[in-house]
Each structure stands twice: as structure tokens, then as C-alpha cells.
Structure 1
Amino acid sequence: MACCHYYGHQAGGDAAFAVDMSAITYGAGCLVEAGDHAQSLGMRRVALFTDERLAALEPVAIVKRSLQAAGLEVVVYDAVKVEPTDGSFLEAARFAREGKFDGFVSVGGGSVIDTCKAANLYSSYPAPLTDYVNAPIGAAKAVPGPLKPHIACPTTSGTGSECTGIAIFDFIERRVKTGIVSKRLRPNLALIDPTTTYTLPAAVVAASGFDVLSHALESFTALPYTRRTPADRPSLRPMSQGANPWSDIGCEKALQMTGRFLERAVQSADDHEARDGMMFAATLAGIAFGNAGVHLPHGMSYAVAGQVRDFCSHGYPQDEPMVPHGMSVIVNAPAVFRFTADACPERHLDAARWLGADVAGASLADAGEIVAQRLIALMQATGIPNGVGGVGYGADDVVSLAEGAWAQQRLVKNAPKAVSEADLAGLFRGAMRYW
């Protein structure tokens, strides 16, 4: 494990870290187990969340049959948006509240799982939307108590949402992405069947794969938990507690697997080894960042996605502009890691090596550029647009983008070095174009 001194005692920092995660079942065909697990969790009337496209596909049918075979009543909600909004969260919550469910099952990507988390929360403890939303956009009130059981069944290899207590959405009025964060949002169980990814379009595999990569790379290079001010009470220790020895384990393996499998998974749907590998990497990275937190690439991504004007990506719905989440993250990443490398250069070099870069003879001063060039090469190999400019932004947008990213203080403060709003503007300028 790299640079153990990263966790040396820091005056005023936390002396302990916490490990929280969902129970996990991983393996081909495991979706057929949904009914038995739901029954064991005490479910009787189940809300099955998915989106309109997935509702007609086999993974949803498998889960629905399994739930019904276990004697459970199932009501399908298929109105989830590919990129959830404040409005779609509220509509899902209304459905859940009126349906009087005692359990939830989600089948889909991060958008489906996150919407299900929000519906569970707001139907269990009704409140104005902003009450639970992250500060400074919302009041960041604590979730009052336990939620109803939730089984998450991911069908994309990217978000890791099945393992986290995070739900992300577009706040339309404020033109920014934000979210709700609480350990109580974390699903009770994740059923992870890698065969669900075999029919994904290449562009979706690429975007979701870069979400995996950045989850792991950001968590590994995050501020160490020993430099975070302790919470008022141990039970209030945040999930974004900073890098720690537990999260490092998942980050290392996820980066190694992404370096080995990402390009292959994008290039061929028939490469099942690669697609299986990316699904497992997504879970490992989800566990890691669910216990460490991400930082600047994700914080900047929420502005990139939230202020989109006319960009649409192949493989995604074309009915409205959208920058897919993993894409909105990775277009910032080379610029960010050039900037953060001097805070922990050994970690940046380790990450670059795990991703497949040649670091022989490299000095610590080279770390940022080596990481950036490896990310750029992977972006080029998998069809990712050329930086923030490639998804429709220009120099005139820098101030607005920086303002949107600055609002993501939970993420900005998790960076390994101090960051100002002016720094964010400089990073967006540096991210406009890479080749």
C-alpha cells in the first residue's frame, strides 16, 4: 500500500475512520434471488423502481417474477428520468407515499437507484425537498430514522450507487447538480449481476467506466481522514470522511481492473471478461468512495451537467440535452490531477501505474502530468469528448461553471489541498481542451 505516512497523526484531525457498506451478492444470474431476499427483509408490498426503457427488458422481468414467486405484491414505477431532477424526485416520492409500500427494489443504473433512495426517504419522512439536500444548496438536515428496506440491482457498471448513501439530482431552477447524503440512504442489499451489462452500448460503457475510474482515483487522492475535523459526535462522522486504509484497498483494485478492462469493455460487447471486470470494479469503487468521498472532478461535474445547453451523447436519449455523469466527471479530471498532484505525488504515481502508465524513472514532480496523460489516452481510446469544450462550453462559461462547482462544498473540502473559487475557474480553463 502506497505512502502509509499519508495517515500520520494530524493535530485537530480525526483519530478513527468508519466502514459502512451494503450487503452484496455478486454473480451471473443472481437477480433471480430478489424475491427470497425481499421476503427475508420483511417486504410484503414492494415498489419496483426502473425506467421506461428498462421496464421492457429482461432484468426487470426477472426481478418482478422472482418477487411475485415469493408471494409479494409488486407495483412497478417506470417514470424514472435518466438524469433525475428535483421534479422527478418529488414525483417518485409522491408515488411511494401514496402506495404505502413496506419495501423498495430498484433495477437500473444510478439514476434509478438514486430515485428509489429519494422516494424511500421522502415517503418515510415527508419534508420540503431542500430539507435533506446538501448545504449550502439545502439545509442538510439529518434523516430522522431508519428507512424501509431497499434492494438495489444495478444494470450499468459505473455509479456504485448500490453501495452508497448518496442520491444525486439536477436542481433545475438553480442550474446545478446536487444531492442528499446519509448512511440511512444506503441500500440494505445489492444484487449485482454482470450479465446485465452485456447489451449496453459502447458509449454508455465508456461514460460509466470513467465514473468508476474517477471514484477510485478521487477517493485515493482525497484529503486523509486524519486531517478532517472530527464530527461533534462519533455517530455523525460523515461518509465523505476522507481517504483511509479501508477505502485504499478498493481504490487500488478498482484502478487496476479499470486499467486492464475499460478499453476492452468499450470495444467489444462480446468481451464478457472485460464487462464482468468493470462491473466488479464499479462495486469496489462504490464501496471505496462511499467511505472516503470524492472531490474536485465530481464537484466540477455537477456544474458541467447542470448547465448543459445543447450537448447530447451517443447511446443516451436524444430528446433533451444531457452530459452523461461519468463523461461530465472525466472531462475535468486531467486538469484536476495536474493541480492536486503536489499534495500527494506518491499516490498520483501509484494510481497512474495501476491504470497502465509507464512510471519507470519518473520523479514526484512528474506525477500530475503522468496521470493526466494516461487519462487523456484512455479518453481518446474510448471516444470521450475533448474536455469541457467538447461538451459545449467555452471561455465565457468559466465564471458560471466555477460558481456552480464552488457550491459543492462537501466535495471541494475533500480535495487534498485547499481550493478557492478562483482555483476552480483556472481548472475549468485548463480543462477546456486536451488535444
Structure 2
Amino acid sequence: MNKLTANWNYPTAIKAGPGRIRELPQHCRALGMHRPMLITDPGLAGLDIVTQAVQSCRDAGLVCGLFSHIKGNPTGQNVSDGVTAFHSGAHDGVIAFGGGSALDAAKAIALMAGQNRPLWDFEDIGDNYTRVNVDGMAPVVAVPTTAGTGSEVGRASVITDDQAHVKRIIFHARMLPAIVILDAELTTALPARLTAATGMDALSHNLEALCSPVLHPMATGIGMEGSRLVHHYLKRAVDDGTDLEARHFMLVASSMGATAFQKGLGAMHALAHPLGALYDAHHGMLNAILMPYVLKANQAVITDTMTLLARYLGLDKPGFAATLDWVLNLRESIHIPHGLADIGIPAEAVGKVGAMAVLDGSAATNPIPFTPAQYDAILSDAIQGKL
């Protein structure tokens, strides 16, 4: 075993290290799978990393199917289609393979495989999770190919309700995949632009967890270290996609961010979710652009936390300003646009998205309970690039 190879058991069983995708068949068998369905997105479905994973399962005697009809922001229809494919192939487990969209869709399909209620009945509101027939859920092995959402260690899926044009969070504690493979070799072909956007998404999870007012000391510690890993490794991964050490630790930072946000998220995600639903924009890029504007809006109550983070990162003159400058400099160094207008978000979003943001589940743990008008003001600045 080299220095990057390790097994962890928090928050689930994690098999970390380059080349560990070769263990996929044995981990499927460990969960009782004989007929797994590998779920990925259409961009990955024809690539070697997917075809080889499917073939390795088949060579090991598993009857492995493939499903890839998933949008960049997965929809309820994508989940329904996946459940149909799952039953048509008489599958007994799921391999969630890809970026956040594929992982979220796969976890939702594994949940819905044994349910009699519609998907939206399990939205993360109140005690809806108690409606789940746990015995009907399919086991999941998760294999992320991007370092961003951390969905591989999450207990929820973000799915777009394409009728209402909103993103809904589907939750159950058992949605947490039973086994995760973090193999940096699967991420080396990710283009620099997507490496940057997904890496900033990982940072947004760690940062928003730190800013959440919820008391969860373990999550705070994880968020600090996850932010430090992004500080040291994101630009390296963007500059040289074949840097296995950088790719490895960005995967780790991603998983850490999704573990830390058990503490909650905030206004970055409260705005990014409706923007993604309305304009089908990349979630990680939205968070990357929104980040400094939300930090600035929260400044009055997060200065102590950002000062602590600045000290942990070893920044000069630690304080809120140092952390904000670090975020801005990092974004610039990896070519993240400064304003939402640069990725096609129109001014017309203002006046519409603020009301949606207040209703988003992430708004509940923003350190300041913003009003719709305040959310619209943040969005207006972010569209114009006015910090």
C-alpha cells in the first residue's frame, strides 16, 4: 500500500487510493449484489472508465447493467426511468458512478426501487423520511469521478422537480452508500474548467458548514481541514490533471465537505439551487461564483470563524479580509468568472429567485436569516460582479 491508500470507516466504509476501482466486484458481492446496475451520466457512459468497470463486474460473474439517461441537473423523470430500468433488468443493487448528478440520481433510484409512494413524498420536510420502506431500498456502492459534491457520503439527493421548476432534497439516513471507492485515477481526465468548478463546490460545502450556527464540533473540525486541503491541492489539480496526489486529496476534501455539512449549508446553496433549476446551470460553478458575495453578506456574524480559518490556512494578517481575499485569489487563479452574468444568468432572475431561496432547505442554517429582498440584493451583486 502506498501513502495514498487507506481504508476509513467514517462516515461510511471508504476505500481510498489510486487503482482501487479494481476492487469494485468484490465490494458489490460484499453487499449481496449479483445483478448490479451501474448508473452514470451520458458523458461518461461510453468512456473506458465505465466500460472497464462494467466489464470487470461481468468478468467476476456479476450480471452488470448500465443506465445513463441522466441530465446535468437530474430530474424526477430521470429517477423514474432509472427505476423502470432497474426492475426490467431484475437488478439487486446500484453502482453509483460519476459526478454529483449521477450519484444523486443513483441514490434516488436505489431508494425508489422498493417504494410504493411517489418520489416527492420523501422530500426532506418534517418526518417524511419515516414513509420510506427501508427493506425495499437497494444497496449502493458509490464511485465519484469528480471532487465536488461529496454525494458519495451524503444521505440525500438533490432532484429537480421539472413540473414546478424547483430542486427538492430527497432524504433518508439509509441513502448513505454502504461502500465508497475514492480512486484518483478516475478523475485525471476531468477538464480543467470542471475540476475548478467542482473543487470550488467542495470548498463551498466546507465553508458553509463552518459558517452554520449549528453546534457540531466534529463537523467544524472536518470543515477546517477540508478547506485546508482545497487550499493546498485545488490549483495543483487544475494546473495538472495527472497530479495523482492533488486529485486524491481533492476527492478527500470533497467527501469531507459533504460530511461537514451535516452541520448545515447556507445562502450559497439557497441561491444556487433555484438558479440551477431555472437556468440548468452547473451547480459547482454557481457556488463558486456566489461564494464571495455570500461571505460578504454574512460578514457581520462570521468574522470570528473566518479569522480562525485564516489562521488555520496560515494566511497573512488573519481576519475576514484575509479569507475573502484568499477566496477571490483562488477563484482568479483557476479562472472562475467573477459574475453570474458571465455564465448566462440574466438580470431577470432578481425578483424571482430571492423568494425561492428563502424556501430552500439550505437557508435554514445560513448564519443570517435573509429576507427575499436581501437574497435578491446578493444575487443582483453576483450577477453584476459587484462586490
Q: TM-score, normalised by structure 2?
A: 0.90
Give CA-to-partner distance per residue, 1:82-125, whole Å, 9 cap, x none: 32122212211222233332211121111111111111111211
Which whole-Å CA distance do the structure 1 matches of 2:291 and 2:348 have between them? 20
Which whole-Å CA distance do the structure 1 matches of 2:357 and 2:349 have between them? 12
Q: What RMSD over aligned residues (CA atoms) do the two structures have, in Å? A: 2.2
Offset at residue 330 of structure 1 (A): 2.0
Offset at residue 196 of structure 1 (A): 1.0
2:20 matched to 1:30? yes
2:114–2:133 contact (8 Å) kept in structure 1: no
Tell me which residue corresponds to 1:347. 305
Tell me which residue corresponds to 2:275. 304
Aligned residue runs from structure 1 range 373-384, under 5 A: 373-384=325-336
2:241 matched to 1:252? no
Tell me which residue corresponds to 1:416. 367
Across the two proteins, how many residue pairs are aligned to each other?
377
2:146 matched to 1:195? no
2:300 matched to 1:329? no
Q: Secondary structure at the match of 1:374?
A: helix
Which among 80, 85, 98 is matched to residue 95 of structure 1?
Answer: 85
Tell me which residue corresponds to 1:359. 317
Which whole-Å CA distance do the structure 1 matches of 2:343 and 2:329 have between them? 18
Gaps of 5+ in 1: 1-18, 226-243, 309-321
Matched residue type, 2:207: L
Which whole-Å CA distance do the structure 1 matches of 2:348 and 2:36 have between them? 48
Q: Secondary structure at the match of 2:14?
A: strand
**Aligned-residue identity in percent:** 28
1:203–1:266 contact (8 Å) kept in structure 2: yes
1:97–1:124 contact (8 Å) kept in structure 2: no
Tell me which residue corresponds to 1:14. none
Offset at residue 51 of structure 1 (A): 2.2
Q: TM-score, normalised by structure 1?
A: 0.81
Offset at residue 392 of structure 1 (A): 2.3
Matched residue type, 1:164: G
Which among 200, 220, 224 is matched to residue 214 of structure 2?
Answer: 224
Which among 229, 254, 260 is matched to residue 288 of structure 1?
Answer: 260
Offset at residue 47 of structure 1 (A): 1.1
Aligned residue runs from structure 1 range 46-195, under 5 A: 46-135=36-125, 142-146=131-135, 147-195=137-185
Gaps of 5+ in 2: 1-8
Which whole-Å CA distance do the structure 1 matches of 2:313 and 2:290 have between them? 17
Which whole-Å CA distance do the structure 2 matches of 1:26 and 1:101 have between them? 26
Give CA-to-partner distance per residue, 1:301-338, whole Å, 9 cap, x none: 01221221xxxxxxxxxxxxx42111111222111111
1:428–1:371 CA distance, 2 compared to 1 (3 A):
farther
Which whole-Å CA distance do the structure 2 matches of 1:355 and 1:204 have between them? 24
2:158–2:170 contact (8 Å) kept in structure 1: yes
2:211–2:305 contact (8 Å) kept in structure 1: yes
Matched residue type, 1:391: I
Which whole-Å CA distance do the structure 2 matches of 1:246 and 1:429 have between them? 35
2:234–2:246 contact (8 Å) kept in structure 1: yes
Q: Secondary structure at the match of 1:383?
A: coil
Give CA-to-partner distance per residue, 1:242-294, whole Å, 9 cap, x none: xx1111222111111111111221122233322222122112222222x2221
Offset at residue 346 of structure 1 (A): 1.6
Which whole-Å CA distance do the structure 1 matches of 2:349 and 2:157 have between them? 27
1:217–1:351 contact (8 Å) kept in structure 2: no
Offset at residue 66 of structure 1 (A): 3.1
Q: Secondary structure at the match of 2:113?
A: helix
* Larger RCO (alpha carbons 8 Å, 6+ apart): 1
Which segment drifts farther, 340-349 or 114-123? Answer: 340-349
Tell me which residue corresponds to 1:396. 348
Which segment drifts farther, 110-119 or 74-83? Answer: 74-83
Give CA-to-partner distance per residue, 1:44-96, whole Å, 9 cap, x none: 11111122232222322332233223322111112222321222122112222
2:377 matched to 1:426? yes
Q: Secondary structure at the match of 2:180?
A: strand
Give CA-to-partner distance per residue, 1:224-246, whole Å, 9 cap, x none: 23xxxxxxxxxxxxxxxxxx111
1:305–1:324 contact (8 Å) kept in structure 2: yes
Offset at residue 381 of structure 1 (A): 1.6
Tell me which residue corresponds to 1:238. none
Aligned residue runs from structure 1 range 267-278, under 5 A: 267-278=239-250
2:129–2:172 contact (8 Å) kept in structure 1: no
Richer in helix (by share): 2
